[in-house]
Amino acid sequence: MTGVLSIREHAWVLPGILTILAPVLVAFWALRRLRSQRLALRELRARFRETLDSCEDLLGRLALLEPAARVAALAPPPPGGRASGAEQEYVNLRESLRQVEESLLQGEGEWQIGRYDRLASRLSNLWAHLDTIRGGIDRLDRDLAAVGPVPAPEAAELLERRAGQEHEARAGQETEIRARCEREAPRLLARARHPASAAGEWAAARLGRAEASLAEALEALAAGDLVGADRGSRLARALAGGTVRLSESGLLIEPPAGRGPWAGFAAACREARVPPRVGLGWTLAAMALVGAAGNWVGHRLTFRSTEVRVSGSNLALRAPAQASHALDLAHTGARAVDGDLATTWQSGVSLAEPQAVVIDLGKPHPIGKVLVLPQAAPPGRCTWEIDLSADSWEWARSGKATAVCGPAHSRWGITEAATGSKARFVRVRPTDWGRSGVAVAEIRVFAPSSLVK
């Protein structure tokens, strides 16, 4: 009888599935994380811009109230009341808004180093602070409306005197103001035009305000109004410089220039503040690593194939077998030689007691190899020794074998008998079976010429 005996079928299905499925799952997880990061940072960017807009809106409202607040103290106090403190309230509100501006600058630094949680917390606190300032501006507006009429000559004189003081203070800075109007602010505007036009309506509107402020500053400078030139150029510089700064830090996002998978992926990475090539490289590396790990795990979870070429039959098939111990009548030693891998010999005791299973081949046979398929729980390594005898009284050690064993997924162990070995009785003696009782699914015995690996 000649043929191929497949001791265990090739098990490539599970490793193949894990090799393909695991990288796909990693890629899906990476894309989900990228999308989640994009949405979170998109919301954070919008929150930052809303806070900045709210701060600038309140600054504009407060600037409109400045002249009235300056002259409110000249109004006669109400009967039994005190002079208006609107000017001091205006100063306090302006200082509060300046602190908000400084806090926003610190928030830009937190964004650049990736402290998104701290930036989100900062913006929440700033919104509460801006609500308080907004309430203070509303109250100042009501107080100024309730102030009695201010003598026109005195108000005009006070405002003129204040304007003169401011002009004198700016006189020593004329060179600096002129340089800001003619060189610094235009240069910042030129840098801001490309990111502003590419980033959307919000940045474009901001750039338009900066250009209008610079135009007003240049007109004031030509008219000799250093105060107006100073204020306009400062506002233009702040708007243009802020746009450039927000663009460089990533708080402004440009839409993808072209279409296609790579352009979309690169745009998503930029929005999520992940370098596209780094994100793709790490994803591919993780997919390769997980695919290799999945393949390895799949092989560990499945039986390895063991094919042997035979020219004879299994000498131990359905031969009389006697075990030293048996768990019950359904797990006797005969179950190890019945040809059914679903049945097992189970001793029911630990290796604290010596135990074995003896197979009677009926007559002496030349012995080539003895194959044993062990089982154990928990999984581990099982070791056993093979003894041969002609009369079951005197035994000769033939060899030992070790194999990976588990409750279901085990590997065959093969023991090669010495050349010229001949025996009627074959004994399998377990020597190491982990913490579980001994269990053997199948024992097969072949003559020397019957088995070629």
167: pLDDT strictly greater than 90: no
- State the Cα–Cα distance between residues 19 and 229, nearest whole angstrom: 69
Question: Higher pLDDT residue, 308 or 321?
Answer: 321
For residue 243, what pLDDT is reported? 87
As a whole number, mean pLDDT of residues 319-326 equals 93
For residue 234, what pLDDT is reported? 86
- State the Cα–Cα distance between residues 187 and 373, nearest whole angstrom: 82
* Distance (Å) of CA 400 to CA 312, 335, 367, 370, 417: 23, 21, 14, 10, 9
- State the Cα–Cα distance between residues 253 and 247, nearest whole angstrom: 7
Question: What residues have CB less than 8 Å from 267, skipping those under 6 apart?
Answer: 253, 255, 256
Helix axes 13-71, 152-171, angle to 10 degrees: 120
For residue 157, what pLDDT is reported? 64
pTM score: 0.58
For residue 110, what pLDDT is reported? 92
What's the mean per-residue pLDDT of the chain? Answer: 81
Percent of all residues in the chain with a pLDDT value above 90, rounded to a whole number: 28
Least confident of 50-59, 74-83, 302-311, 336-345: 302-311
For residue 450, what pLDDT is reported? 53
Question: What residues have CB less than 8 Å from 286, skipping those under 6 apart?
Answer: 26, 30
Residues 315, 447: contact at Cβ < 8 Å? Answer: yes
The maximal CA–CA distance of the chain, rounded, in angstroms, is: 136
Residues 250, 110: contact at Cβ < 8 Å? Answer: no
177: pLDDT strictly greater than 50: yes
Q: Nearest 5°: phi and psi at 207?
A: -65, -40
What is the residue whose two structure tokens read 């305000």?
Answer: 209
pLDDT grade for 76, boundaries at 50, 70 and 90:
low
Q: Write the pLDDT tens digit of every residue in 89-123.
A: 988 999 999 999 999 999 999 998 989 999 999 99
Least confident of 33-37, 140-144, 292-296, 345-349: 292-296
300: pLDDT strictly greater than 80: no
As a whole number, mean pLDDT of residues 199-211 equals 86
- State the Cα–Cα distance between residues 196 and 204, nearest whole angstrom: 5
- State the Cα–Cα distance between residues 231 and 441, nearest whole angstrom: 92
pLDDT grade for 247, boundaries at 50, 70 and 90:
confident
For residue 252, what pLDDT is reported? 82
Q: Write the pLDDT tens digit of every residue in 409-442.
A: 678 888 888 888 999 999 999 998 866 678 999 9
For residue 1, what pLDDT is reported? 42
For residue 413, what pLDDT is reported? 86
132: pLDDT strictly greater than 90: yes
Q: Rounded to 5, what percent of the chain is helix, strand, coil? A: 55, 15, 25
Question: Higher pLDDT residue, 358 or 406?
Answer: 358
Residues 432, 383: contact at Cβ < 8 Å? Answer: yes
DSSP code of residue 452: B
As a whole number, mean pLDDT of residues 235-251 equals 87
